[in-house]
């Protein structure tokens, strides 16, 4: 992985902590909308981590493939990923 390991790890650990907190909220039978807000906050952190990973992939892996004159495989991977993100 070419993304900044420290930043991605920090984000994922934060998300893990939030998930632990959400599980505790559920055990405590907390208000549904409070749980929902925490779920959305966790999703936001995971999306940010994913954007960092994908940006690094484009900046490094895809760029190298283009410069080598063989971008087809990496571009196809990105097209499949975009289809998955749309679902």
| Confidence tier at 29 by pLDDT (50, 70, 90) | very high
Q: Which element (helix H / strand E) includes 87?
A: none
Q: Is pLDDT at 85 greater than 80 in this prediction?
A: yes
Category of 29 on φ-ψ map: left (φ > 0), alpha (ψ -120 to 50) or beta: left
Q: What is the pLDDT of residue 23?
A: 98
CATH number, position 76: 1.20.58.1000
How many domains does one find in the chain? 1
Q: Is pLDDT at 1 greater than 80 in this prediction?
A: no
> By residue range, what is the domain housing residue 30?
5-86
Residue of 81, 69, 58, 79 lying closest to 2 (CA atoms): 58
């Amino acid at each position: 992985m070419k993304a900044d390991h420290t930043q991605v790890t920090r984000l994922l650990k934060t998300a893990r902590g939030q998930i632990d907190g959400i599980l505790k909220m559920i055990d405590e039978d907390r208000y549904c909308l409070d749980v929902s807000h925490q779920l959305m906050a966790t999703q936001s952190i995971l999306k940010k981590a994913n954007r960092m990973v994908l940006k690094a992939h484009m900046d490094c892996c895809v760029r190298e493939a283009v410069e080598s004159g063989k971008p087809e495989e990496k571009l196809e991977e990105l097209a499949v990923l975009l289809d998955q993100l749309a679902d």
